[in-house]
Structure 1
Amino acid sequence: MTFNRRRFLAGTALATIASAGCLQADDESGTGTGNGSRNGDDDSEPTTAVPEDPRVDDPPYDIEEQPSDPGEWKQLLLCENMSGDSDLEFQTVPAPRADLLLRTAETEAEAYAVRALTSAAEVREVFELGDGGSDEGPEEPIDAIDFEESVLLVVESGFGSGSVTHHWKRAEATDRGVHLHGCHTTPFKQTNDFIARHSVVRVERPETFELARVSLTVGAERRVHFNSTEGVVTVDAE
């Protein structure tokens, strides 16, 4: 199987997008096709942002109310009825300190970002690995991943309690790459800090890879979509 090796580190530009719609982006250069691909080739690296539409929608599955008994509280309620039928293997991996995009995002709105790392060099640009690369340990060092077989996604969402984390339920192959589905956890007890959350996910690389999409359920009636061509996107808070 032959893989197309592409670089999709999202930029740090802030794209402000209303929750009910999305920014329309066109490539108006002489060689562009207006759909974010170069020369009309679906396997080409997008030359402009490919905005998600819709940006926000309702989760396509039922989400029940939390039980009143604290002993029956469900931390994974937002993902409980989400389909887990994944056609790509994936796993959340531990990672060293990262250079996160949301740390420099100056906004009072919700903010989201995903970067798709496709080489060891890109991993070293994002994570603080030290002079000798990542440390040896029980897990494979993240800069030693076989990027012919895998892609590494760095997903960020903000802002709120550090007790809330990402939980990933399935990864799908699309005609342009990878689509990752998951949710925010809902712990019964939460800290009152106000931070950006992030997770690092290793996903099996499909034969064609241009971009990574994320659909993240953040509330019982709220799912947010964003992808690796967009940089940081902001969404009006509920």
Structure 2
Amino acid sequence: MIGHGLAHISFAGVALGLFLNVMPLAVALVIAVLAALGIMKLKENAGVYGDTAIAIFSSVGLALGILLATLAHSFNVDLFSYLFGDILAIGASEVWLSIGLAAIVVFVVILNYHKFMYMTFDREAAKTSGIKVGRLDVLLTILTAVTIVLGMKVVGILLVSALVVIPAAAALQLSSNFKQAIILSSLIAFVSVLLGLFLAFYLDLPASGTIVILSFLLFGLFYIFKRKKRIY
């Protein structure tokens, strides 16, 4: 749910970047991270349910995005490339920004792998053992925001949450532990994007829709395999 909400909030960041005539991807990253932290604070301090907090920020993000895009007269090719994805529209600066952010995400996950695993399976025990669960929550939320922004130009704001959720759901059908789930979900996402771009190029299809449909087909295939395995 938070991935879907942050994708909508990122729309406001993109619109603000176009309005200010600065790099939309960088502005969207800042807005997404601030919104992610705001959602956490709203849940903790205002007693608002998680889904409610996400819905509030998501709605406000969309509203601000529409207003800023209208004021900037930027309902054009640039904005639509972020909404629906256009890998050919990615500039050199955005490529380097994406590579740098992706490297940071991988490094942080590897560095905190055991803490993430412990917290995921037994939150209270992790607290008792001295793990700063609150800080890890913030870190995970920021990593989610960064991941959402990284995928915007490939599959678009409207579908980027699917690229985060579906490969993970597919990996869980076959994984027996946390490490396998991380590796397999990354592999599924990589194959979906690579094969999706290949098919989109040769069949003249939109890359964003092709990538998401392929990841969904992999999820369906793994789900059927898991059910068959249980039967036999």
Question: More helix by proportion, 1 or 2?
Answer: 2
Larger relative contact order (Cα-Cα within 8 Å, sequence gap ≥ 6): 1
Question: More strand by proportion, 1 or 2?
Answer: 1
Q: TM-score normalized by structure 1? A: 0.26
